[in-house]
Amino acid sequence: MWDLLIINPMVNTLLYIYSVIGNFGIAIIIFTILIRLITHPLTVSQMKSAQAMQEMQKSKEWQELQKKYKDDKQKLSQEQMRLYQEMGINPFGSCLPLLIQFPIIIGLYQAIIRALATTPYQLLDLSKHLYSFINAAEIIPLNNKFLWMDLSQPERLPVFGVGIPVLAIVVVITTYLQQKLMTPPPAQPGDQTAQMTQMMNLYMPLFIGYISYTLASGLALYFVTSNVVGILQYAAMGKLNWKNLLSFRSQPSAQKNVGKKK
Amino acid sequence: MDPLRFNLLINLTRILIQPQKWNKKIPTELVFAIFFLLVLATSLTACSPASLMSNWPGSAVKDRIVYLAYQAHVYAIQAENGTELWRFPKEADNKLSFYAPPALSPDGSQLIAGGFNHILYSLNPENGNEQWRFEESKYPYIAGPLITKDSIFAPTSDHLLYALDRQGNKRWEFKTGAPIWATPLYDPDCECIYIACLDHILYALRTRDGALLWKTDRLEGAIASSPVLSEDGILYFGTFGKLFHAFDLRSKGDIWTYTASNWIWGSPLLIEDLVIFSDLSGNVIALDAKNGAERWKVTTNAAITAQPIAVQNIIYIGNEAGDLYAIDLQGNLIWQQPKKFDGKILTPALTADEVILIPLVAKDNLMVAIKQDGGQVWAYQPVK
């Protein structure tokens, strides 16, 4: 089912783009943009949902609930749920797009590896998943070279005999930028949530960077493209949070903002 | 994702976000973000190149000893009873696996095996001790090497063919346009080798210095297996473009072609006046070697990538479903039902003393020896 619904369409779309363009790196970039465009409504919904949640958490009613039931977690949860319902906010609304992304990333990685088919066993497997409109005999083996990279291998740019993982570094930077630019300021700065968000902003880029460092560079190319397109999407909607980018210790500045509002 | 891994992730997520530890309500986005990271980490690791490197066995036989290269080792196995004589390396190294079939030198003093770790090893066939290694390739060895009296020709997926002397010193190299998955074929008449390449081209190189003697135009598909040469100078090979070629070395052109219904992967077999090959639709096709006329066709239930073998004029060929077929030269099935194996048959069978040796892609038995009536003689399962 996974193959039928996710992998096969991805592999064949990638190969189709490759058959037209003739360059697998560019095929990955075009494919990633395509995926981001298809999931654009989800991105918008995630953004709106997160924004609504932020607004709600800044509301007086929410703050009062926190104070009133600070010693009764269960009651606090119930009241918070009630507030969610009253304000018509789905607490899972901002999680759904994240969940949708997850099969896409895994599917895309598998699709890239499957399409590149660097071993006979993989090629035999690929031959069974091709749609009839793909002229596989003509395009196989794929040219997996893109710029200085072999897209089927982890990327290293040799500089004076030392392999520098340039793409992995770019992945870390763009993931960090994306997170910083797209994360709204915390509703209650200094609390556990804000600290964890800050932690995630730091660990997520490192984690994605590590994946890019160790796995095939085709995936790293996807991450970079996806990050850049994500930033552009938010920029087009006028939702980039430039202040966040410069605040390495978000707590004090965020606290100031809240203070002003009060 | 399997349920075990899923449960593990759920539990890890719970541990990471347990409320008593953090003492505050954790937002749902963070729960999902952590869960997402864990799932992503395990899923990508699970489908990383290392785990996708499922390969198939390559084997060679000489003097009643079978040499089987598969996964982490090269094994030497006694053909009459399946006893393991030695393995290389003695302890599995997770950086080393073997895809390429090993090759024995004509004098039997060297066993050459290319690793997925880009290293070509020369082993002593008697005990598996390493004699030398060649480390210049930057990419894995998929094709088996060719060994002549004084040279070793080792194709790589680095788009290169290395020519070495028998001591492992490089003599020359030849660059192609794509990885080479087929063992070169030696032609003593021209003192040259023929290289079938995934770049859709067949090359002829002079063995002495690697000079290109000629090459075909870009053909309709990649060539994944070695051609076979007839006594009258015809090269037979198939491509992923579904065409089977009878290529005349004198005119450097096809004397006939045959269109199969799917990719042609395995090398053909020349026997009497027939040329027999298979395709990924599971067809075994016998053509008149002179004019390409179809003599018979047997359809099996799964893809065939292995070259057929002949033992006493009976053709044996296995498929991906693990079914072994025995067919006579008139195209009649010898067994009413194919012999079923617990694994995939993707590489050619071998023969030693009328025993047929079947390399398997399987968890347990890596090789099974059968008699010509299909009865099992032994099964080899390496001790972990």
pLDDT tens across A129-158, in order? Answer: 999 999 999 999 998 889 988 898 888 888
Looking at the complex, does the CB of residue B27 fall below 8 Å from at least one CB of chain A?
yes
pLDDT value at position A153? 85
Per-residue pLDDT at B12 exceeds 60:
no
Strand, helix or coil for residue B225: coil
Q: Give B5's contacts in chain A (Cβ within 8 Å).
A: none
pLDDT value at position A256? 44
CA of B175: how far to CAs of A13, A117, B212, in Å? 31, 21, 10
Per-residue pLDDT at B264 exceeds 80:
yes
Q: A120 — phi, psi (to 5°)?
A: -55, -40
The reply to whether residue A192 touches residue B30, judged by beta carbons under 8 angstroms, is no
Q: A141 preceded by cis ω (within 30°)? A: yes
Q: Which residue has the tokens 């530890």?
A: B21
The reply to whether residue A106 touches residue B43, judged by beta carbons under 8 angstroms, is yes
The model's pLDDT over B286-312, given as tens digits with 9 standing for 90+, comes to 999 999 999 999 999 999 999 999 999
Angle between helical axes of A166-182 and A217-236 (0-180°, round to 10): 30
Ranges in chain A, pLDDT < 50:
250-262
pLDDT value at position B47? 45
- pLDDT higher for B361 or A88? B361
Mutate to test the interface with A, among B26, B29, B70 (most CBs of A within 10 A): B29
Looking at the complex, does the CB of residue B40 fall below 8 Å from at least one CB of chain A?
yes
**Beta carbons of A10 and A115 less than 8 angstroms apart:** no
Strand A145-146 relative to strand A149-150, pairing: antiparallel
- pLDDT higher for A194 or B339? B339
What is the ipTM, given to two decimal places?
0.85
Count the neighbouring beta carbons within 10 Å of the beta carbon of residue B94. 7
**Beta carbons of B238 and B268 less than 8 angstroms apart:** yes
Tell me which residue in A80, A95, A113 faces B52 most closely, judged by beta carbons.
A113
- State how far the Cα of B256 lies from the Cα of A75, in Å rounded to an integer: 84
Band the pLDDT of B38: cuts 50, 70, 90: low
The model's pLDDT over B135-165, given as tens digits with 9 standing for 90+, comes to 999 999 999 999 999 999 999 998 999 999 9
CA of B57: how far to CAs of A65, A112, A123, B311, B365, in Å? 66, 25, 15, 21, 12
- State how far the Cα of B268 lies from the Cα of B124, in Å rounded to an integer: 31
Contacts of B114 (CB under 8 A, 6+ apart): B98, B99, B100, B120, B121, B140, B141, B142, B143, B144, B145, B154, B156
**Beta carbons of B240 and B305 less than 8 angstroms apart:** no
Q: Which residue has the tokens 């210049």?
A: B136
- State how far the Cα of A24 lies from the Cα of A149, in Å rounded to an integer: 11
Mean pLDDT of chain B: 89
- State how far the Cα of B229 lies from the Cα of B105, in Å rounded to an integer: 20
Tell me which residue in B36, B263, B346 faces A127 most closely, judged by beta carbons.
B263
pLDDT value at position B15? 47
Q: Which residue has the tokens 């060297």?
A: B110
pTM: 0.82
Q: Give B199's contacts in chain A (Cβ within 8 Å).
A: 141
Q: B79 — phi, psi (to 5°)?
A: -70, -30
Query: Average pLDDT in the B93-117 region?
Result: 93
Strand, helix or coil for residue B158: coil
CA of B240: how far to CAs of A30, A212, B40, B58, B305, in Å? 27, 33, 35, 21, 11
pLDDT value at position A253? 42
Contacts of B251 (CB under 8 A, 6+ apart): none
Per-residue pLDDT at B119 exceeds 70:
yes
Contacts of B230 (CB under 8 A, 6+ apart): B236, B270, B289
Nearest CA of chain A to the CA of B340: how many Å? 21
Nearest CA of chain A to the CA of B44: how many Å? 6
Q: Give B179's contacts in chain A (Cβ within 8 Å).
A: 118, 141
The reply to whether residue A124 touches residue B48, judged by beta carbons under 8 angstroms, is no
Select from B56, B58, B356, B345 the least CA-distant residue to B183: B58
The reply to whether residue A92 touches residue B49, judged by beta carbons under 8 angstroms, is no
Mark out the alpha helices in chain A (DSSP H runs). 2, 8-21, 24-38, 40-58, 60-68, 73-86, 96-116, 120-127, 136-139, 166-182, 192-214, 217-236, 242-246, 250-261
Chain A CA closest to residue B44? A106
pLDDT value at position A41? 83
Q: Above pLDDT 70, what percent of chain B?
A: 86
Angle between helical axes of A250-261 and A192-214 (0-180°, round to 10): 140
Q: Which residue has the tokens 């069974």?
A: A128
For B103, counting Cβ atoms within 10 Å of its Cβ (0-12 exposed, 13-18 middle, 19+ buried), the class is buried
The model's pLDDT over B121-131, given as tens digits with 9 standing for 90+, comes to 999 999 999 99
- State how far the Cα of B46 lies from the Cα of B68, in Å rounded to an integer: 27
DSSP state of B256: E
Chain B CA closest to residue A191? B24
- State how far the Cα of A121 lies from the Cα of B56, in Å rounded to an integer: 7
Count of residues in chain B? 384
How many Cβ contacts (< 8 angstroms) between chains A and B? 122
pLDDT value at position B323? 97
